[in-house]
Amino acid sequence: MAGRARQLNLAVGAGSAAAAVVLALTLGTLGAVAWRAESAARLGPSDWAAVRFTLLQATLSALISVALAIPVARALARRRFAGRGVLITLLGAPFILPVIVAVLGLLAVFGRAGLLSQFLGRFGLPPVQIYGLHGVVLAHVFFNLPLATRLILQGWLAIPAERFRLAASLGFSERDVGRELERPMLREVLPGAFAVIFAICTTSFAVVLALGGGPRATTVELAIYQAFRFDFDLGRAAGLALVQFAIGAAAAGLALRFQVPQATGGGLDRVAGRPEADSPGRRIADTAWISLAAAFLLLPLGMIVLRGAPALFGMPPAVLAAALRSVLVALSSTVLALALALPLAFAMWHLRGRRLAGWLEALGYLPVAASPLVIGTGLFILFHPVVDPVALALPVTVVVNATMSLPFALRALVPAVARVEGRFGPLADSLGMHGQARLRHLHWPRLRRPIGFSAGLAAALSMGDLGVIALFADPEQATLPLQLYRLMAAYRMEDAAGAGLLLLVLAVALFWLFDRGGRVNADT
Amino acid sequence: MRYPIIAAGILAIAGAVQAREKPELTVYTYDSFVSDWGPGPQVERAFEEICDCDLKFVGAGDGAALLARLRLEGERTRADVVLGLDTNLTATAADTGLFAPHGVEVSFDLPVAWDDPLFLPFDWGYFAFVHDRKTVSDPPGSLRELAESDLKIVIQDPRSSTPGLGLLLWVKAAYGDAAPELWEGLADNIVTVTRGWSEAYGLFLDGEADMVLSYTTSPAYHLIAEGDDTKAAAAFAEGHYMQVEVAGKVASTDRPELAEKFLRFMVSDRFQSIIPTTNWMYPAVVPAAGLPDGFETLIRPEKALLYGSEEARRMRDAALNEWLGALGN
Amino acid sequence: MLTLEGLTVRQGGFELRADFSVRAGAMTAVIGPSGAGKSTLLSAIAGFIRPSAGRVLWQGEDLGPLLPGERPATVIFQDNNLFPHLSAFSNVALGLRPSLKLGPAEGAAVEAALARVGLAGLEGRKPAALSGGQQSRVALARVLVRARPLLLLDEPFAALGPALRAEMLDLVAELARDTQATVLMVTHDPADAEQVAEQVTFVDGGQALAPVPTGQLLAEPPEALRAYLGQRKTRP
């Protein structure tokens, strides 16, 4: 069994190295901040109020995102129509948008001067009151409904078509299908989707503040921000970051206890014949759900396009240079994200059933709950004595962006690796396919779809991220999101809208290219 | 154990190489100063023409983030000059012991007297609420009138934004112990509170609010750069709180003469004439050619409000708690 | 000779014991109720499951330290015998070179094997473009190029119709004769055993019994086997 041990050691070794990088960037940077602190963490009543508000808004946001995603996913699962694939791709766009661009797009529809208010105004009705807890939740649903839909749709498509055929042959009504087939699937899928979205919403900050309507809408991340730049209390910043991790860890624990579905694009085109849902009434209901979701998600995107289009083709060279830089950063961080995610996924497969696999998976979730400000500050504290942090601005951005996209890449890759190894592992073993041979003739051809999806997501997320660059920013090495903020700070709101559109186009294009590249000529 | 010696050797060589080249002056500042649309590029070109040196700007967030970064770096900082703190930060900055007296004597065109030995102003402005003349034909004449009106405003969070903190101190300076009542009056006017100036100003331009917390100089941008005279700042009877932006010499600098040369350049005509149409603030010393056309249309508040740096620091936390108390529940 | 020496395999709460030998070149059917551990027995011999006690020996050599691919065996599974993304040619070629880097002689051997199983001209097709029977033939062509002395089949043609299955079994028997392979074939159908196997090992109650000549076993089935066979009337 020496050969097998070798194989195991290699996978676990590479996985552990990847895990160490994640650990260093999350808890390591937190430790650096705590170590540099002049006093121990003392959290006051306002901090705990921030914790309560964070829990409240994240719970509501995740609940509503998931609840709305159920009918939308069901409608997408049982209907086939022209443009379905394009719609599913575009629905992913809000998730990868930079916050400021998304907020302005949302407000162009739902704000006091937005489309909806103008429409109501024609009938003499007052404008929509968007600011407040419900505004925060609305924005989070905008960001996360597509993710929830994608996760739940995957669960639906995982129900074998034969079972729907069996149900049809037994004359099941829609209610029977719901009880016997769909509810058990949802019970498995929903907790995971809820937990992932909950964790994402806990670290939200700028959206919450902009739409929250006032200081009631203070989240933990804002409290960290305050501790750092208003009070320069690093101990409190570290303490709050730890609380944020604890909340995220609780959510991750939830997600791990209940199986989380994979989020790949695989199998999205398979539609099972569903006679029980064939009545005109059902058809109208499904059409309504799909249309409503599409309108809710695509209208703000459309407004971003409209607002940005006039300035798009007159972008200053500095913005174009920043765009190129951002694309390069995105491509590099995509490579790194895969270099971290694949060994982790294989290590988890080799260690399946053991406690260590669970730890690795939990670690993969950690970046969701990390505070970008704490990561940035921690890295700064660690690097400053050794090298000029400014010289490292872009490499640091690459590393952090890659780590931040890791949880989503793992969601797609871990189940895919398990599926490929489970189905073809014994055959490959019996043929003595190891190392290179296995990689080239089994893993690459079978995993390119989820790899393409993960790469697309990593690239798009990296395009839109601003998070940690602030402390490291090099004036001559600005990325596109930073340049966008600079345009705004210089009153150039129209150019900024153009830059926002450019960012949206580039992020969606990168996602599409990778996702597409994974599918072309891929036999399944 | 040999590595430190090798490293020291490399550093020595690198230092020798550098010594033969032009000396480098590192100036830490806030991010929007160094952007392509800020004063940074022009200032760099102008100073390098006269200094025979290499001027290197390093940008870090806003003024508060700049100070936080400096405190993280401590005496090991590479900065020779720090440019972009304001009077709400200078007391804390002075306490770090990282700054040395600037030694520059100049007569400033400021509404207040200036005699800080450590920090030298380069520009200043008044906070103000900006509106669109087309939608707000009869702007309020005071903070109190604003609070009593139905006008919708966007402001910034004092915990994450410089203007946000400015408004906090504005209300405190104007109303003292009655500040909480004024905030309670303003509560129903506030549409939302944003993380920074950019978000708030963007929301205002998109029509989300009637007025936005900004500067009396903001309309100058629209007038001069866009030929748009619809934007105006409302003059308030209580007076307007000021923001004075300053620079200081880092005590540990190994180029003290060059740093001083930069500070003197900073208050000279050349630098000061760049400020109005890039930073959209008033120059600390009005250049000989005067202010650009268009600035004469701006309101000039009759009363300038400003806490001394020590006072500002003392007031800050209490004012924040009042603000949170009035708006937070 | 294949020897199972005091072999015990544990999987979850299930335990299977076997302690017997099979003559080299013999064709042995493994039958028994579902869940009795037929596939487990094969997996232990193929090296997918590590035994908790005992050894598997081939011609006196302990196979314990060898990875599945290093064992002197070819396995045909119930399904997933072919990689769907590779052509018939590549799927067979993997049996010779897992790297797929073939010399000219090896390429010729692959083509010859495909021709031998009746697939000449279909080398370039991917599994999806082949019928169920043709897919089985590709897997059998791989048996030929590997030419390992042990052939382990785990209900290999269960998805095929009766006529096609009979045809495949005959092909297996032919290939086994040609390569002088020792064959262990799991099946749930005694007819399969009757068709090609000279002896049968019956697996039940956590025990794989030593093989008995097929005719003899089916003529006078022991109690447990009778229960498994049910009402079926065995031929004399």
The confidence score (pLDDT) of residue A323 equals: 94
b/e burial code for range A136-173 (CB count within 10 A of at least 16 → b): bbbbbbbbbbbbbbbbbbbbbbebeeeebeebbeeebe
pLDDT for A502 beyond 70? yes
Q: Pick C148 or B15 by higher pLDDT.
A: C148
Task: Identify the closest residue of chain B to A225 by CA–CA distance.
Answer: B160
Q: Mutate which of B29, B151, B160 to test chain A, going by most A C-beta atoms within 10 A?
A: B160
Paired sense of beta strands B153-156 and B190-194, if any: parallel
Task: Identify the closest residue of chain A to C65 by CA–CA distance.
Answer: A1
The confidence score (pLDDT) of residue B231 equals: 96
Query: In this complex, do A475 and B35 lie within 8 Å of one another by their Cβ atoms?
Result: yes
Query: In this complex, do B61 and A470 lie within 8 Å of one another by their Cβ atoms?
Result: yes
Render B167-225 in DSSP notation, one character per residue. HHHHHHHHHGGGHHHHHHHHHTTEEEEESSHHHHHHHHHTTS-SEEEEETTHHHHHHHH
| Residue in C48, C99, C126 nearest the CB of A426 | C48
pLDDT band of residue B93 (cuts 50, 70, 90) is very high
pLDDT for C189 beyond 90? no
Q: For residues C2-30, give the mean pLDDT.
A: 89
Of the candidates A56, A101, A99, A374, the one whose C-alpha atom is nearest the C-alpha of residue A223 is A374
Would you state the torsion angle of the CA atoms of residues A351, A352, A358, A363, taken in this order, to the nearest 10 degrees?
60
Query: In this complex, do A431 and C98 lie within 8 Å of one another by their Cβ atoms?
Result: yes
* A41, A387 Cβ separation under 8 angstroms: no
- Dist CA B170 CA A189 (whole Å): 53
Q: How large a percentage of chain A has pLDDT more than 70?
A: 91
Domain layout of chain C by residue ranges: 1-72+149-236, 84-147
pLDDT band of residue A520 (cuts 50, 70, 90) is low
The confidence score (pLDDT) of residue B232 equals: 96
Query: In this complex, do C65 and A429 lie within 8 Å of one another by their Cβ atoms?
Result: no
The confidence score (pLDDT) of residue C229 equals: 76
The count of domains in chain A is: 2
pLDDT for A1 beyond 70? no
pLDDT for B8 beyond 50? no
Last residue of a domain, one of A292, A309, A326: A309
Run of H or E residues at A448: helix A444-464
The confidence score (pLDDT) of residue A63 equals: 94
CA distance C41 to chain A (A): 15
Query: In this complex, do B328 and A215 lie within 8 Å of one another by their Cβ atoms?
Result: yes
| Residue in B35, B195, B225 nearest the CB of A489 | B35
How long, in residues, is chain A?
Answer: 524
The confidence score (pLDDT) of residue A276 equals: 67
Render C12-58 in DSSP notation, one character per residue. TTEEEEEEEEE-TT-EEEEE--TTSSHHHHHHHHHTSS--SEEEEEE
Ranges A203-217, B2-16, B77-91, B117-131: which has the least confidence = B2-16
- Dist CA A176 CA C81 (whole Å): 37
- Dist CA A63 CA A198 (whole Å): 8
pLDDT for A45 beyond 90? no
Query: In this complex, do A215 and B61 lie within 8 Å of one another by their Cβ atoms?
Result: no
| Residue in B64, B203, B329 nearest the CB of A230 | B64
Residues of chain B contacting residue A233, judged by C-beta atoms under 8 Å apart: none
The confidence score (pLDDT) of residue A7 equals: 62
Question: CA-based angle B312:B315:B320, to the nearest 5?
Answer: 115
Task: Identify the closest residue of chain B to A128 by CA–CA distance.
Answer: B208
Task: Identify the closest residue of chain A to C50 by CA–CA distance.
Answer: A1
Run of H or E residues at B129: strand B119-132
Ranges A375-384, B313-322, C137-146: which has the least confidence = A375-384
Run of H or E residues at A355: helix A355-365
Ranges A311-320, B16-25, C175-184: which has the least confidence = B16-25
Quick check: A162 contacting C, CB < 8 Å?
no
Shared domain for A263 and A359, answered yes or no, is: no
Query: In this complex, do C98 and A445 lie within 8 Å of one another by their Cβ atoms?
Result: no
- Mean of the per-residue pLDDT values for chain B? 90
Q: Which chains touch A (3 or more CB pairs under 8 A)?
A: B, C
Render C52-91 in DSSP notation, one character per residue. SEEEEEETTEE-TTS-GGGSSEEEE-SS--S-TTS-HHHH
Name the token pair of B163. Answer: 């203007």
CA distance A211 to chain B (A): 7
The confidence score (pLDDT) of residue A469 equals: 60
B3-124+243-295 and B126-242+300-327 have identical folds: yes
Residues of chain A contacting residue C64, judged by C-beta atoms under 8 Å apart: 1
Name the token pair of A298. Answer: 């695509």
| Residue in A377, A471, A491 nearest the CB of B221 | A491
pLDDT for A470 beyond 70? no
Quick check: A420 contacting C, CB < 8 Å?
no
Fold type of domain B126-242+300-327 = D-Maltodextrin-Binding Protein; domain 2 (3.40.190)
pLDDT for B86 beyond 90? yes
Shared domain for A197 and A331, answered yes or no, is: no
Q: Pick B148 or A478 by higher pLDDT.
A: B148
| Residue in B31, B37, B158 nearest the CB of A473 | B31
Q: Pick A179 or A473 by higher pLDDT.
A: A179
Domain layout of chain B by residue ranges: 3-124+243-295, 126-242+300-327
The confidence score (pLDDT) of residue A8 equals: 64
The confidence score (pLDDT) of residue B120 equals: 96
Render A187-252 in DSSP notation, one character per residue. HHHHHHHHHHHHHHHHT--HHHHHHH-STTS--HHHHHHIIIIIS--HHHHHHHHHHHHHHHHHHH
Q: In A79-160, which residue ranges form alpha helices assigned H by DSSP?
A: 84-91, 93-96, 99-110, 115-122, 133-158
R_g over Cα of chain B: 21
Q: On the CB side of A72, how many CA atoms lie within 13 Å of its CA?
A: 26
Residues of chain B contacting residue A134, judged by C-beta atoms under 8 Å apart: none
The confidence score (pLDDT) of residue A468 equals: 59
The confidence score (pLDDT) of residue A13 equals: 85
The confidence score (pLDDT) of residue A256 equals: 66
Query: In this complex, do B203 and A210 lie within 8 Å of one another by their Cβ atoms?
Result: yes
Query: In this complex, do B60 and A490 lie within 8 Å of one another by their Cβ atoms?
Result: no
The confidence score (pLDDT) of residue B3 equals: 44
Residues of chain A contacting residue C75, judged by C-beta atoms under 8 Å apart: 426-427, 430
* C4, C11 Cβ separation under 8 angstroms: no
The segment with the largest mean pLDDT, out of A223-227, A276-280, B179-183, C48-52, is B179-183
A and B touching (3 or more beta-carbon pairs closer than 8 Å): yes
Shared domain for A296 and A421, answered yes or no, is: no
Q: For residues A223-227, give the mean pLDDT.
A: 86
Residues of chain C contacting residue A6, judged by C-beta atoms under 8 Å apart: none
The β-bridge partners of B121 are B246
Shared domain for A28 and A51, answered yes or no, is: no
Q: Is B248 helix (H, G, I), strand (E, B) or coil?
A: strand
The confidence score (pLDDT) of residue A6 equals: 61
Task: Identify the closest residue of chain A to B221 by CA–CA distance.
Answer: A491
CATH number, domain containing residue A328: 1.10.3720.10
Strand positions, DSSP E, B133-175: 153-156
A267-310 confidence digits (pLDDT tens): 344 455 666 667 788 889 899 999 999 999 899 999 999 999 99
Q: For residues A144-168, give the mean pLDDT.
A: 80
The answer to whether residue A165 is domain-embedded is no
Residues of chain A contacting residue C69, judged by C-beta atoms under 8 Å apart: 429-434
| CATH for the stretch C1-72+149-236 | 3.40.50.300
pLDDT for B12 beyond 60? no
Task: Identify the closest residue of chain A to B207 by CA–CA distance.
Answer: A113
C 58-87 residues with CB < 8 A to A: 64-70, 73-75, 77, 80-81, 83-86
C21-49 confidence digits (pLDDT tens): 899 889 999 988 888 888 889 889 988 88
- Dist CA C48 CA C152 (whole Å): 12
Shared domain for A430 and A346, answered yes or no, is: yes
CA distance B194 to chain A (A): 5
Ranges A165-174, B64-73, B258-267: which has the least confidence = A165-174
- Dist CA B288 CA B294 (whole Å): 17
Q: Mutate which of B206, B218, B317, B327 to test chain A, going by most A C-beta atoms within 10 A?
A: B206
pLDDT for A363 beyond 80? yes
B135-165 confidence digits (pLDDT tens): 999 999 999 999 999 999 999 999 888 999 9
Paired sense of beta strands B240-250 and B304-305, if any: parallel
Render A239-277 in DSSP notation, one character per residue. HHHHHHHHHHHHHHHHHHHSPPPP---TTTT-----GGG
What angle separates helix B197-205 from helix A493-519, to the nearest 10 degrees?
100
A105-125 confidence digits (pLDDT tens): 999 999 888 898 888 888 888
pLDDT for B51 beyond 80? yes
| Residue in B71, B206, B225 nearest the CB of A107 | B206
Query: In this complex, do A216 and B37 lie within 8 Å of one another by their Cβ atoms?
Result: no
pLDDT for A192 beyond 80? no
- Dist CA C47 CA B249 (whole Å): 74
CA distance C227 to chain A (A): 32
Q: Is A456 helix (H, G, I), strand (E, B) or coil?
A: helix
Task: Identify the closest residue of chain A to B63 by CA–CA distance.
Answer: A229
Query: In this complex, do B327 and A46 lie within 8 Å of one another by their Cβ atoms?
Result: no
Residue at token pair 């952090």 = A400
* B54, B284 Cβ separation under 8 angstroms: no
Quick check: A433 contacting C, CB < 8 Å?
yes
pLDDT band of residue B90 (cuts 50, 70, 90) is very high
Shared domain for A352 and A405, answered yes or no, is: yes
Q: How large a percentage of chain A has pLDDT more than 90?
A: 20
pLDDT for C93 beyond 60? yes
Quick check: A10 contacting C, CB < 8 Å?
no
Q: For residues B48-69, give the mean pLDDT.
A: 90
Residues of chain B contacting residue A499, judged by C-beta atoms under 8 Å apart: none
Last residue of a domain, one of A257, A275, A309: A309
The domain B3-124+243-295 having CATH identifier 1.10.10.10: the answer here is: no
What angle separates helix A317-350 from helix A355-365, to the nearest 10 degrees?
170
Quick check: A254 contacting C, CB < 8 Å?
no
The confidence score (pLDDT) of residue A253 equals: 76
Residues of chain A contacting residue B7, judged by C-beta atoms under 8 Å apart: none
Of the candidates B127, B138, B125, the one whose C-alpha atom is nearest the C-alpha of residue B164 is B127
Name the token pair of A96. Answer: 């990868």
| Residue in A4, A429, A445 nearest the CB of C85 | A445
- Mean of the per-residue pLDDT values for chain A? 83
The confidence score (pLDDT) of residue B54 equals: 94
- Dist CA A362 CA A257 (whole Å): 11
C and A touching (3 or more beta-carbon pairs closer than 8 Å): yes
Which domain, by its residues, includes A108? 46-160+189-309
Query: In this complex, do C67 and A522 lie within 8 Å of one another by their Cβ atoms?
Result: no
Last residue of a domain, one of A291, A309, A327: A309
The answer to whether residue A21 is domain-embedded is yes
Name the token pair of C64. Answer: 């314990």
Q: Mutate which of B11, B193, B214, B231 to test chain A, going by most A C-beta atoms within 10 A?
A: B193
